[in-house]
A and B are shown apart, each in its own frame.
Chain A
Amino acid sequence: MKTLWNDPDGGFHPASAPDFLPRRELELLQLGRLRSVVRRAYERVPLFRQRMEGRGLSPEAIRGLPDLGRLPFTVKNDLRDTYPFGLFASPMSEVVRLHASSGTTGKPIVVAYTDADVEVWSSVMVRSFAACGLHKGDVIQNAYGYGLFTGGLGAHYGAEALGATVIPISGGNTERQLMVLADFGVTAICCTPSYFVHLVERAKEAKIGFGKLKVGVFGAEPWSESMREYIQAETGIRAHDIYGLSEIIGPGVGIECLERRGLHVFEDHFYPEIVDPQSGEVLPEGVEGELVLTTLSKEAMPMIRYRTRDITALDPERCPCGRTLRRIRRIGRRSDDMFIIRGVNVFPSQVETALLAVEGTLPHYQIVLTREKGLDEMEVQVEVTSEVFSDEIRGLQTLQEKLARAIEHVLGLRVQVTLVAPRTLARSEGKARRVLDQRKV
């Protein structure tokens, strides 16, 4: 430790110590943890055991870190197929918390935490906040949604463990967010970047300042360098990207330090690999591919080689901040058709389910994503068919409303539904381009 962690001029919380481990020590720690998590998954998760046996592997096959590449992948569908508790490695009596996130169908994906898992989660969030330059004495407005979504509680416990003051305001209610920001001496805010841009716009309109705000910890959706520049120029704060996903733990898998050139992955708990999205072959450092994560210390729900579908590259270069943790490039795109809007994972198939429920057959449709005044907007354009076309304006408006409500029911999001003339949406050969992302991430 360089200086006291609660020294406002610098230094880190004691929990940040692993950030600076010499690589050799870190790798030994990783190997030890990897061997025990693989054994745990093998002994307690039938799906994983079957897959290991299918390849003639046993936990003893893990002799060194490169052996990880021999293990089978885990994909999002595995969580869906074993819904709700099929991948748990702890009895429910040991599970202290459940979270859930949206899946490819109406059913969510359920994730579990033991006491120790919650502790690890809290520690990686402490390390994330510390890497952003936050300390005891900071006032953190947590505008991530509280509830089944991991963002709210994840950031909350981390901020408390840091020793900061947490304002658990949750998402929404822009007026109140701005009032609290200005009046409560808030020094840092956690929310989705698009929501913060929305706050910036509204504050400008209302001519409200940002008080003492100096740091933003933004995540749960991809965002661009130009968005960062805009946020920083408008507010004078420092904007950090945080990465995480429920399947692995929630927020706190990776964080941008003060350098903000890539996100340090908390490798002592989450082992990153980059693979070719098609072949699944492990790619060398520096080469772009799909991020695959293995939880090294998770008890309740170990994830072995989880395919995140996020496209990035591993940067092996040492960071000037002194952390030995490798960095991943900021995530700009995904390898599947899932997209994230206002922090919610959306698959086009979910929209299809809703359209089908209303119309009986699947109409041609297209999803258009835009960013207006900083807020992500989702529009679903639906071609009108003679089956649903009504001679009356009222009838069409009712159809529009029914479609919007059905989509809201599936996604939990209010979206704009636009009826368009038949054959106006582009038809492509083979895989239809269902999503038109104009957000410029």
Chain B
Amino acid sequence: MKIRQLSLFLENRPGQLRIPCKILGEAGIDVLTMSLADTQQFGILRLVVKDWEKAKAALEAQGVVVNVTEVLAVDVPDRPGGLAQVLEGFEKANLGVEYMYPFARGPYATLLFRVEDPDRAERILAEHGVPLVPAAELLARTAR
């Protein structure tokens, strides 16, 4: 159920974000969603793409530092208090959230979570009422 996410190191200066985007575009990689975390000096671009292996190879061939991490996709009820309800499940499962960002495709309110221990999270979140979306389904939703 875990989703492979690519993390890229970027320097915090103009023009840096365009470099990986251009490489992915030229390699014909479809970016499904992304999030950018930044500090004064550097940033980390996190991407979920259709073919992560091909994307990683294309980026690395151009000298970009790429890390593969696993994230979980969760469908959040699209109503007031929806996210709070999901987070309550995390809390009950005693899971810390490192960061999260939306998966911007499809008719659902889907969030991607990076948690301390993705394997354990995968096992126990469902038991605590957190609806995880399997990778295959997530990808199917993005089909045009």
Contact = CB atoms under 8 A, between A and B. Distances in A.
A418 B41 contact: yes
Contacts of B67: 386, 389-391
Nearest to B114: A391
Interface stretch (A26-34, A392-400, A403-411): A392-400
Interface of B: prevailing SS: strand
A396 B40 CA distance: 12
A393 B114 CA distance: 13
Interface string B1-18: 000010101110000100
A422 B63 contact: yes
Contacts of A422: 9, 63-65
B137 interface: no
A420 interface: yes
B44 interface: yes
Given A385-B65, A389-B65, A419 B9 contact: yes
Interface in A398-434: 418-424
B65 A421 contact: yes
A385 to B, nearest CB: 7
Contacts of B39: 393, 396-397
Nearest to B10: A421
B98 A419 contact: no
Interface in A355-410: 384-386, 389-393, 396-397
Interface string B95-119: 0001100000000000000100000
A392 B11 contact: no
Contacts of A418: 41
A392 B98 contact: yes
Contacts of B37: 393
Give chain A's interface residue range (CB within 8 Å of chain B). Answer: 10 to 19
Most buried by B among A389, A390, A421: A421
A421 B17 CA distance: 12
A381 to B, nearest CB: 10
A391 B65 contact: no
B44 A396 contact: yes
Contacts of A384: 9, 42, 65
A384 B63 CA distance: 11
A422 B11 CA distance: 10
B94 interface: no
Interface in B1-58: 5, 7, 9-11, 16, 37, 39, 41-42, 44, 46
Nearest to A389: B65
Contacts of B64: 421-422
A327 to B, nearest CB: 46
B9 A421 contact: yes
A396 B65 contact: no
Closest 10 CB pairs of A and B: A391-B7, A423-B63, A391-B69, A384-B9, A389-B65, A421-B11, A386-B65, A422-B63, A391-B67, A384-B65
14 contacts: A384-B9, A386-B67, A389-B9, A391-B46, A391-B69, A392-B99, A393-B39, A393-B44, A396-B44, A420-B11, A421-B65, A422-B63, A422-B64, A422-B65
